[in-house]
Amino acid sequence: MTARPNPRLAADALIWLLLLTAPFWLNAVGGYTQLGSLVLVMALAATALNFLLGFTGVLSFGHAAFFGLGAYGAGLTIKYLVPSTLLGMLVGVAAAVAAAAIIGRLIVHLRGIYFAMVTIAFGQVFYFIAFRWNNVTGGDDGLSNWSRAPIDLGFARLDLPGSPTTFYYFVLFFFALSLAAMAWALRSPFGRTLLAIRENERRARFIGIPVDNHIWLSWLISCGLAGLAGALFALLNNFADPHDLRWDQSGEFVIMAVLGGMRSFWGPLVGAAIFVVLQDYVSTMTQNWMSFIGAFFVLIVLFFPDGVLGILRRA
């Protein structure tokens, strides 16, 4: 008897193989290693958002705030405190989690459009702080004149500033770790309570799930990982921009998740890859690159509500 191939495992293996080998084939298809890193960073942010949106059923339009807190946390630490990449990332994630914990407690009882609107409002508060606090954040010019530092592991030295390929694998390591953690969580009893809340909040409540608390925990995980993505984004660019915190950046994360397929674990990665690559290529031809992405997004939402991965699955 021959074992039947498992299409899901095969797809997982193919995705990881493509990600692991990306620096070796990206140039051949007209890309470059930093573009690969950017796809991973955006995919991490979109997957983090989708943990809340696709698997808990809660829409946030304010995730850029936590992405930006991660970016500024890392940048400010490296610029003003210690030139340590890992410590910068740690502070960035801690800032995002701390802010998410407080804001989450205030808004977690809201639902639907009310929750989404309040997340925009809170996100804009952080944007204006970064925009106005010139002395510390650099204001509209952003936080510059700092850069990611190499990491000494004892047995090896990671040349993050000098080697784009090393930095790509550095990002891939955190991307893989975060995705593994989210996948683990979603397959656990806690993850199943999130699916239960997404499916039917009233029933979830009446089987004894304290819904608000579980949404808060999901929000915390989601915002913390968005913060990690933000820290990696700042390290990628050696720069933190107040626009990283703005509501339109939050909208882009939502677009990536929906474009790829928010019911699917890999959907946001596919959405982020399409978004970033389209942005990179089309923006070299026209300033109106967003119109093309917008049109593509509208077509997908209208005709394939399960996103690009939904189309592939049907095929």
Partner 1 sequence: MSLLQVENVTKRFGNILAVDNVSLRVEAGELRAVIGPNGAGKTTFFNLISGFHKPDSGRIILENHDVTDLLSTQRVWRGLARTFQITEVFPRLTVRENIQISVEVASGFRLRMGLSRGERLEVQARVEELLEWSRLARNAGRAVGELSHGDQRTVEIMMALALNPRLLLLDEPTAGMGERETYEVAQLIRRLHREKTLAIVLIEHDMRLVLRMADRVMVLDRGGVLADGAPAEIVADETVQAAYLGKAAA
Total interface residues for partner 1 by CB under 8 A: 22
- Name which position in 8, 145, 206, 315 contacts partner 1 (CB under 8 A): 206
- Give the C-alpha distances (Å, rounded to integers) separating 156 from 82, 110, 149, 166, 173: 21, 49, 14, 12, 16
User: Which of 111, 205, 243, 313 contacts partner 1 by CB under 8 A?
Assistant: 205
Question: Does 101 contact partner 1 by CB under 8 A?
Answer: no
108 binding partner 1? (CB under 8 A): no
Q: Does 207 bind partner 1 (CB under 8 A)?
A: yes
Using the minimum distance from each CB to partner 1, give the nearer residue, 27 or 188.
188
**Binders of partner 1 among 37-96, rule CB under 8 A?**
none
Nearer to partner 1, 188 or 286 (CB): 188
Shortest distance, position 218 Cβ to partner 1, whole Å = 12
Binding status of residue 6 toward partner 1 by CB under 8 A:
no
Backbone angles phi, psi at 97, to 5 degrees: -65, -45
188's enclosing H/E stretch is: none
Taking CB under 8 A as the binding criterion, the range among 27-35, 172-180, 208-216, 276-284 that sits at the site for partner 1 is 208-216
Per CB under 8 A, which region of 145-153, 201-209, 247-255, 269-277 contacts partner 1?
A: 201-209
Q: Does the protein bind partner 1 through residue 193 (CB under 8 A)?
A: yes
Q: Does 185 bind partner 1 (CB under 8 A)?
A: yes
Cα separation of 103 and 25, whole Å?
A: 42
Q: How far is the CB of 54 from partner 1 (least distance, A)?
A: 12
- What lies within 8 Å, CB to CB, of 85 at 6+ separation is 74, 78, 148, 149, 150, 151, 160, 235
Does 159 participate in binding partner 1 (rule CB under 8 A)? no
Quote the least distance from Cβ 43 to partner 1, whole Å.
Answer: 23
Instruction: Report the 10 Å Cβ neighbour count for 124.
Output: 18
Burial of 179 (0-12, 13-18, 19+ CB in 10 A): buried
Q: How many residues does the chain have?
A: 315
**Distance in angstroms (rounded) separating the CA atoms of residues 272 and 267:** 9
Residue 87 CA to residue 73 CA, distance in Å, equals: 10
C-alpha distances in Å from residue 97, one per residue of 77, 81, 92, 186, 212: 16, 20, 9, 20, 17
- Site residues (CB under 8 A) for partner 1? 184-185, 188-190, 192-193, 195-196, 199-200, 202-203, 205-211, 214, 217
